[in-house]
Structure 1
């Protein structure tokens, strides 16, 4: 189903596709440092912040269930262009925000965009690699995902803190970046050999090809645990930084969130050096250490410890995430690769949404600190369990 890409149309290769991927994912986390401003302006609770965040994840999951494999049939480029259009629509919702309903619509549209990007952009980056570039392309795909997610809060935090129009300028800048990404996407080679319009749009669920099932389970559970940590930082950490640590600089908030995603990218880079077999269990172990540090920062109210926990947890998440994605993507047959990768991301985004809403609900009874400690304990148990499993039954580098 995938072309051999030997038609000389590879002037724009996998780095260009990775750049488009990064721009798209940056838009999904752009509002993160701004939630405090929205909370003051609209007067909603911390629970509602996590609900607004989780609505995004609900949009991702919906698309992955309904259309996670659509790029395997229609082609990568049309799906990427559609995702960029949804990203632009989301930015416009935030630009013209007049209350909570439009915020929710903007987050849902952003989730739809991320759901399309997750499978189609990852597959496009992998398939645009020339022979011998597969490892570099695998890193580019996961780094674009995590790097884009990290750059969103950093960009909006800096713009909101040091320029006029804190609730408008970040989204105006993103619209410009989306337009540039759309122009690049238009000239990307199509990697699906015979793209066609699917007859029906049906839920794909979590079905994966038989040859992938051996690696899918532990890889997806590790991704769930790692994305739960990312969800904590993108939805709850900004409130902890401002309310508990009394740090109200939005650029600092964005930098703290950026740190965990930057560390994730570093962890992904390390995965290529130590191999899939060791990266998954080691990543789970490092993730546990990071969660322990995050819990410590909550207990002693220390920003430096939170930053160190973000670095350590991000590295662990990156190690486990790239190892799992590499194993799943490598085991999937080309004609089902987009759908299989989408199923992997579906489990990951369950991790970034369900636990975070739980944290928001717990804040009503336990407060922000108590909810964070409870969350950390639960994810530590999960990460330890999957880490021990893959340590005893390791994946192979060839998976």
Structure 2
């Protein structure tokens, strides 16, 4: 039930991805403004993580998860009653706040609720729920936008129904935080203890490159497909974005066989190959090549993401696990927002194709550098 709630909350954050082109036609804004709308979401995530990342450690997991679902429902209502840009911005901010509450809290809750026999797979369940939810949003919205008569409204009605079921599920799960004050304490700065930093730093480095790629696909992928590749069907754009996250989940499954020490650098290497394929797809306007590049990039991101979260989680004190996980996600959501805004700024003067090529080169360089550093200083077995 906790994993289902995680999926639903993350699904709501990416639902607008295949709909941005429709909003562009309806409201007449540019691809740059699409990236700004997306970045506003990331700002909401980061604010929630910074101010409330440790909240569930003191008041409990369930109250924070319920608050995140309420914010997700308010976001869906903002899009449902959209009349212009103010509602779009409000919906994205609320969605970001919801995701910020959920990422660290739900990851910790799923790990803590897992039966002892599932202990080795608990982190996989949590990260797969995260990535699966993020990937399900564009697929669901793309299919509804393609075949439903009123896509800009019906998709959010479906989302509200999913959120309502998730609320019931969270109300039924047990609380896993035993020592809690039950009151809201003054937010404190997220802090990573020195004993956790040897695991945290490489996880953050590898995660930055992977999440920058996810940010590109969840913000301007429909614009790339329409303006560069010549494919404008929302079902296709939603499926392409879903492919990245499905591949990420596959990479997370593969990490169990590869191991943390090898998954972090090799995930970066595979991500480099994926970015090379994506750049080739932009040069040749090839949809199949773009899909293959999305799969490769997703697998690489999934490998390094699960390896990083696993290593950070196993070296974190239980009473501070949500706080440290939230600190990691702050880094990842900086990666998912700032580079994408850079793409939007470049697109105004250079065009989407050129900005996409520059972005691919920068991410590939960062991932390659991270792989070299990880091989020079491998992940420690013990903190």
Answer yes or no: same fold by TM over 0.5: yes
Asked if 1:287 is matched to 2:271, the reply is: yes
Deviation at 1:31, TM superposition (A): 0.3
Asked if 1:55 is matched to 2:35, the reply is: no
Partner of 2:312: 328
Q: Any residues of structure 2 matched to 1:188-203 within 5 Å, and which?
A: 188-198=173-183, 200-203=185-188
Task: Find the aligned partners of 1:191 and 1:210 in 2 and give their Cα distance.
Answer: 26
Asked if 1:20 is matched to 2:5, the reply is: yes
Partner of 2:83: 98
- 3-state SS, counterpart of residue 152 of structure 2: coil
Q: Deviations over 1:81-136 (max 9, x none)?
A: 00000000000000000000110000000000000110100000010122232221
Partner of 2:31: 46
C-alpha contact 1:64 1:116 (8 A) present in aligned 2: yes
- How large is the Cα RMSD of the aligned pairs? 1.1
Q: Any residues of structure 2 matched to 1:312-323 within 5 Å, and which?
A: 312-323=296-307
Q: Deviations over 1:229-280 (max 9, x none)?
A: 0011111111011122221211001000000000000000000111101100
C-alpha contact 1:57 1:353 (8 A) present in aligned 2: yes
Asked if 1:338 is matched to 2:309, the reply is: no
Asked if 1:249 is matched to 2:248, the reply is: no
C-alpha contact 1:67 1:201 (8 A) present in aligned 2: no
Q: Deviations over 1:361-395 (max 9, x none)?
A: 00011100110111111111111111111122222
The one of 354, 371, 376 equivalent to 2:360 is: 376
Task: Find the aligned partners of 1:33 and 1:397 in 2 and give their Cα distance.
Answer: 42
The one of 339, 342, 348 equivalent to 1:358 is: 342
Task: Find the aligned partners of 2:125 and 2:354 in 1 and give their Cα distance.
Answer: 37
Deviation at 1:201, TM superposition (A): 2.9
Asked if 1:297 is matched to 2:281, the reply is: yes
- 3-state SS, counterpart of residue 34 of structure 1: helix
C-alpha contact 1:70 1:198 (8 A) present in aligned 2: no
Give the total of aligned pairs. Answer: 383
Asked if 1:152 is matched to 2:132, the reply is: no
C-alpha contact 2:229 2:282 (8 A) present in aligned 1: no
Q: Could you list the runs of 5+ residues in structure 2 that have no partner in the other structure?
A: none
Q: Any residues of structure 2 matched to 1:78-97 within 5 Å, and which?
A: 78-97=63-82
Do the aligned partners of residues 70 and 295 (structure 1) sit closer, same or farther apart at CA in structure 2, a change above 3 Å counting? same
C-alpha contact 1:276 1:397 (8 A) present in aligned 2: no
- 3-state SS, counterpart of residue 82 of structure 2: coil
Task: Find the aligned partners of 1:98 and 1:171 in 2 and give their Cα distance.
Answer: 15
Q: Could you list the runs of 5+ residues in structure 1 that have no partner in the other structure?
A: 1-15
C-alpha contact 1:287 1:383 (8 A) present in aligned 2: yes
Partner of 1:12: none
Partner of 1:394: 378
Task: Find the aligned partners of 1:372 and 1:250 in 2 and give their Cα distance.
Answer: 20
Task: Find the aligned partners of 1:48 and 1:372 in 2 and give their Cα distance.
Answer: 16
Partner of 1:211: 195
C-alpha contact 1:68 1:204 (8 A) present in aligned 2: no
Asked if 1:67 is matched to 2:67, the reply is: no
Deviation at 1:396, TM superposition (A): 4.3
Deviation at 1:143, TM superposition (A): 0.3
- 3-state SS, counterpart of residue 371 of structure 1: helix
- 3-state SS, counterpart of residue 210 of structure 1: coil
Partner of 1:141: 126
TM-score by length of 2: 0.98
Q: Which runs of 4+ in 1 moved over 6 A?
A: none
